[in-house]
Structures are given as C-alpha cells and as structure tokens.
Structure 1
Amino acid sequence: MANQIDVITNIMNVIVPPFMLIVLLLVYPLYLIYKFINFITRLLTSENVAGKVVLVTGAAAGIGEQISYEYARRRARLVLVDVRGDLLGRVVENVRSFGSSDVIAITADVSKEEDCKRFVDEAIKHFHRLDHLVNNAGLARVKLFEEIQNFSDFSYLLDVNLWGVAFGTYYAIPHLRKTKGKIIVMASSVGWYPFPRFSFYNASKAALITFYETLRTEIGNSNIGITIVTPGLVKSALSQNEPAKAALGWIPMESAEKCGKAIVRSACRGDKYVVEPSWVNSLYALKVMCPDLVEFCNRFLFITAEKTAPPTTDAPHKSFIPTELKSD
C-alpha cells in the first residue's frame, strides 16, 4: 500500500507542475481582465458609510486614530476602543468636530476575551447594529531572538496581536452578517517580509494574514467583506523614538494620516488587500523571486552593519520598544 502511494506521489510530482503551468498560461489573461473589471466596479460603487456604525480598536493614537478621523469625515458613527482610555477623550472630541454624529469610547484590553465581548456588546446596545470592524490594536517588541530573556513579554504580544483580533472578530461576526458588513484587519508587510529583530511581531502578522484569508474562504466575501492591510513603516510614536529609529534604519516612512485615508478608501471600495505605500509591493516580488538576496541584504544592512558600527547608549537590540496598543 505504501509503495502504491509513493508511486502515485512520484507521478503527481512529474505531471502536476507542468499541468498547472499550462492552466495558468490559459487562465491568467482572463483572470487579469476579471480583476480589472472588478476594480472599476468597486471604484464606481464605493460604499457610503454615512450613518453606519464603525468599531475601531487601538483608536487612541497613530493609524487607528487617523482611521477614526477618516470615517468621521464620511459621517460614520463610531465606537472607539483602546486600553488607554484616558487618551480617548481627545479623539472623541476630534471625530465629533470632523462630522461623526454619534461616538462612544470604551476602555478595553483586546488580549482579554471578556473585554472583546464587552465592547462588541456595548456597541450593539448603543447603536443596535455594526457595519465595519477595524481590528487595529497591536503591540510590537524589538529584540534579537537569541537575546530574549523573558518570553512572557512576547506571549502578551501574541495575545494582543493574534488572540485580541480573533476574539473581537468572533463576537462581531453575527452582527456583521446582518448588515453584510466589513472587517478591516491591520496586518503588516513584515507578515511576509522577514525584517530582523521583529521575529514574534512578524510571526503574529503572518498569522493574521493566513487567518483572515482562511476566514474569507469560510464566510464568503459576499456575506462579510474582509480587507487585509499590510502597511510598510508608518510614522508613529513607535517609529519616531530614538531607539526605534536606530533599529529601523533609513527605511522611508509614510504619515499615519495618509495611511489611514488609504485604508478607509480601500475598505469602502471592498478591496481584499491594501498595501500602503504601494511601493512596498515590490519587496514582495523581490522576496518571492530572490529570497536568498533578501536574506543577505537584510542581514548585512540591519545586523552586520550595526555590529560593526560604534556602540551607542540606545542599544536598540538590548531593549524592548513597545507601541501603544495599536498596530504599527
């Protein structure tokens, strides 16, 4: 029996790759035409979110704050969630001035399942519906894997970045089904690009990408739209402090405001993926086509070069650099 299975496997190893290549050559031109028509359709039928209810986690600062402002400009009603409740008051005032007719703020830690259930329940109790769920809350830590001394810090990172997103999504799905709503999830370009010193952060974002691609298959995009966001480096409290600047090097940064606007625009269009800024897409092609070159360059630029540079007092690889509880 085992020999028969091995024979079948060997035959498939020979037949399947050229067969799939032929299918791809025949189908891909038609697929590109479909994608183009679909893109034009989305441009012409962008969703009007005025009066609709949008829940944003990690809304107190950075990308989450800017996403909230962009929804407010489009007259959406907002539920703002963050672990730092003391910072939400300012954001609430701003979204009201930008045009949101009704907004509530909820202090919650997304790593706790009961908190996620509570903020979804409070949103439904106040607004009686939910149209968009923006899973933006997240946490980053910067450290070489071999230098980690306390794994509990990284366990909390995974709790926030993965379970914190899954919990909120789980409790929101029944309500989003009723409105044929949307889920917007903040992954990262490092979910597929192996940037050094962020191993657990990268892994958590890679898990989000796969999780939501699977969920999209399970639910069906016609029932609940899912937009996966994979931004590059965005200006925030994380990226602007001195240790982070040293760790992140010379990588160009985009403003959180521009990134937030692009995310909401794509979500309203119903895009399945958002890469912002768009030049980051070229890194994906490079990683797929030349993985060895990417590995060499990353190591040379961000590991070898730093070890040969004069020591600094910041020593970014010796310290944790947390974000606020929001993505990037």
Structure 2
Amino acid sequence: MDLINSFLNWVVPPASMVMLACAWPALCFINACEWLYDSYYSENMEEKVVIITGASSGIGEQIAYEYAKRKANIVLVARREHRLRGISENARRIGARHVMIIAADVVKEDDCRRFINETVNYYGRVDHLVNTVSLGHTFYFEEVTDSSVFPHLLDINFWGNIYPTFVALPHLYQTNGRIIINASVENWLPLPRMSLYAAAKSALVNFYDTLRFEIKDEVGITIATHGWIGSEMTGGKFMLEEGADMQWKEEREVNVSGGPVEEFARLIVSGACRGDAYVKFPSWHDIFLLYRVFAPNVLSWTFRLLISPHGARRTSLIGTGRPFAEVSGRPLLEGTSPRRLLTGPVAVSQQLKME
C-alpha cells in the first residue's frame, strides 16, 4: 500500500494539472452558459420575504438595499435598533414592499426563534435568510493574556450564523428558500493577526458545504467569500456584528483599501437569485488555492516577503489590556490612538461589549 501511495503521489498531481489545463476552455464555456441561463431565469424576489442578520451597517445594510431594489419584503435584524430605523426608511424609499426591524442577538437561540417566529407570523413565510454577522480582530495570538475573548469571537462568527439557520430551516424547506452566508477569503488563505477569525470562518464554510449535501436541492446555499473590502472593518474599527463598533478604533499599522461594499452586496444578491453556490469578490484570489495545494512553500515564502513585520509588535487592546473605559482613567474617544494612552504593562482583562 505504501508503494502504491508513493506512486500516486508522484503521478496524480501532475496528471490532474494536465487534465485541468486541457479541460479549462470547455469548463469556462459551460460555466458561461450556465451563468447566462441562470441570469435569464433569475429568482423574482418581488413580495418574497428576506431576513438579514447583522443589518445595522456594512455588508448587511447594503444587501438590504439590493433586496429593496428587487421589491422584496425585508426583515432587518441587529442589536442596534436605532440604526435599523434609518436603514428601513432608506430601503422603503428604494423600493422594498415592507420592512420590519427586530432587535436581537444572533448568538442566543431564543432570540433567533423570536425573530424567525415574528417573521413567519407576520408574513407567513421565509424565502431567503442572509447571515452577515462577523467579528474581526487584528491581534497576534501570542499577545492574548485573557482567553475569555475566544468564545466571543467564535460565538459571533460561527454560532451567530448557525442558530438562525437552525431555526429558519424548517420554514425554508416549505418555500424551497435559500441561505446566504458572508464568509471571507481568510477561511483558507492564511494572513497574520487573524488566526481565530480565520478558524471560525473556515468552520463556517465547511459546515455549510456539508449542509448543502444533507439538504440536497430542497434549500439552496450561497457562500459569499470576500477579500479586503471598503467597510468599517477595513477602515480600522473592530466590529461585534457587521458594523457594530467596539468602543474604540484601532490605529492600523498598514493602510488598507479594498473594493466597495456596494459592489460585493450587489454580487451576493445577484448570485443568490441566480442560485449560485459560491460568490467570490474578487475572484482572482482563487489562484492562491493552486499554490496552497501544489506549492505551499511558494505561498508561504511570498506572504513572508509581502507581510514582513516592520518594527516591534504593538499590543492590541482586545483580550490583552484593560477594559476600554478604564484605560488611563478616561474613556477612549473615537480616533484616539491606544498607543498614546497605554503607559505601562497591560494586565487587567478586558470585556467585549455590544451595542
């Protein structure tokens, strides 16, 4: 058996690459035909019911506007009810048939049951469930001195998607509906300062890829994967749900820029209505998958060159410092640099608070 495996290790990878290269033009043609067919017969969302979690800003907000253009009935779910009111008015002006706002915490199963039941009781159905909640971080794992931050990260990025899906799935079966997931390229592309975030997103993608086989074609699943995009997160804010700020902005070491959130939201909704299994923005990130499988060392060397550290590491407050409001005995104002306020060793555990 060892001899057979050794032989296959040498033969299968290059043979597969040759076959893929030969079949690439035909695959591109087939994919183009499928795209045209699915676009022509795209799902009509008029009067259908869409639940969007994490809708208080960022990707969730823009997705709400895209569904509004398609004249859907929209249910906006987030913790910040005051933010949802303004977004609901915007969605109505754009074209939404009806907008309902519900303040809820998606990491609590009871809250998820409440907003799903309220939706079904009012509209009688659920057609699309869009999960956009996300919590990012920019600390090195070795910097963390308080591990209580770990469950918060995994709760939001994983369970904050699973619980709404678990509760809504029976209703989605009845309408042959669709689940849309906001993932990230970090689920397979390793980047520094994102270890826990990447792990949670990887678990999320694997869960929904597996669920897709379990539920077959009775409920569709669209996994949207993005790189850096121009949202509050890339602008330097931590988020507890898509757009729900932590209590301070981080002064980033690297200026980050990316594509517009509006474009990503448009691609997500268009792909979901076409029935796409995956939506990727930008799609050129996929080339790194080949390197990861066939030349992982090249990928590793490239990232080490491109993302080489300059100067000493700076401790991030999340999970490593004092509670936000206690730093230097005064609250941190938006835009204040934590590096100017920390004057000694960080030892007291901090708390994550949601709006």
Report the alpha carbon displacement of residue 17 of structure 1 after superposing the two structures with TM.
7.3
Report the alpha carbon displacement of residue 229 of structure 1 after superposing the two structures with TM.
0.7
**What's the counterpart of residue 226 of structure 1?**
221
2:261 is the alignment partner of 1:278: no
| CA distance, structure 2, for counterparts of residue 65 and residue 324 of structure 1 | 18
**What's the counterpart of residue 91 of structure 1?**
87
Report the alpha carbon displacement of residue 69 of structure 1 after superposing the two structures with TM.
0.4
User: For residue 78 of structure 2, what is the amino acid of its counterpart?
Assistant: D
Any residues of structure 2 matched to 1:157-168 within 5 Å, and which?
A: 157-168=153-164
| CA distance, structure 2, for counterparts of residue 21 and residue 290 of structure 1 | 12
Any residues of structure 2 matched to 1:1-328 within 5 Å, and which?
A: 7=1, 10-11=3-4, 14=7, 18=11, 25=19, 28=23, 34-220=30-216, 222-241=217-236, 246-247=252-253, 249-307=254-312, 314=338
Report the alpha carbon displacement of residue 307 of structure 1 after superposing the two structures with TM.
3.3
Task: Give the TM-score normalised by structure 2.
Answer: 0.78
| CA distance, structure 2, for counterparts of residue 286 and residue 76 of structure 1 | 41
Residue 17 and residue 214 in structure 1: after superposition, are their counterparts in 2 closer, same or farther (change >3 A)?
farther
**What's the counterpart of residue 3 of structure 1?**
none
CA RMSD in angstroms comes to 3.1
| CA distance, structure 1, for counterparts of residue 255 and residue 298 of structure 2 | 19
Contact 2:51 2:128 in 1 (8 A): yes
| CA distance, structure 2, for counterparts of residue 292 and residue 307 of structure 1 | 26
* Structure ranking higher in helix proportion: 1
Unaligned runs of 5+ in 1: 1-6
Which structure has the higher relative contact order (CA within 8 Å, separation 6+)?
Answer: 1
User: For residue 284 of structure 1, what is the amino acid of its counterpart?
Assistant: L
Residue 44 and residue 16 in structure 1: after superposition, are their counterparts in 2 closer, same or farther (change >3 A)?
farther
* Structure ranking higher in strand proportion: 2
Report the alpha carbon displacement of residue 251 of structure 1 after superposing the two structures with TM.
4.6
**What's the counterpart of residue 240 of structure 2?**
none
Q: For residue 87 of structure 1, give the secondary structure of its aligned residue in structure 2.
A: helix
User: For residue 224 of structure 2, what is the amino acid of its counterpart?
Assistant: V
Contact 2:230 2:257 in 1 (8 A): no
Task: Give the TM-score normalised by structure 1.
Answer: 0.84
Q: How many residue pairs end up in the alignment?
A: 313
User: For residue 235 of structure 1, what is the amino acid of its counterpart?
Assistant: G
What is the percentage of aligned positions where both structures have the same residue? Answer: 37
Q: For residue 205 of structure 1, give the secondary structure of its aligned residue in structure 2.
A: helix
Residue 171 and residue 308 in structure 1: after superposition, are their counterparts in 2 closer, same or farther (change >3 A)?
closer
Report the alpha carbon displacement of residue 250 of structure 1 after superposing the two structures with TM.
4.6
Contact 1:238 1:244 in 2 (8 A): no
Report the alpha carbon displacement of residue 48 of structure 1 after superposing the two structures with TM.
1.0
| CA distance, structure 2, for counterparts of residue 114 and residue 279 of structure 1 | 40
Q: For residue 238 of structure 1, give the secondary structure of its aligned residue in structure 2.
A: coil
Report the alpha carbon displacement of residue 53 of structure 1 after superposing the two structures with TM.
0.4
User: For residue 230 of structure 1, what is the amino acid of its counterpart?
Assistant: T
Contact 1:116 1:164 in 2 (8 A): no
| CA distance, structure 2, for counterparts of residue 45 and residue 258 of structure 1 | 22
Report the alpha carbon displacement of residue 15 of structure 1 after superposing the two structures with TM.
5.3
User: For residue 227 of structure 2, what is the amino acid of its counterpart?
Assistant: G
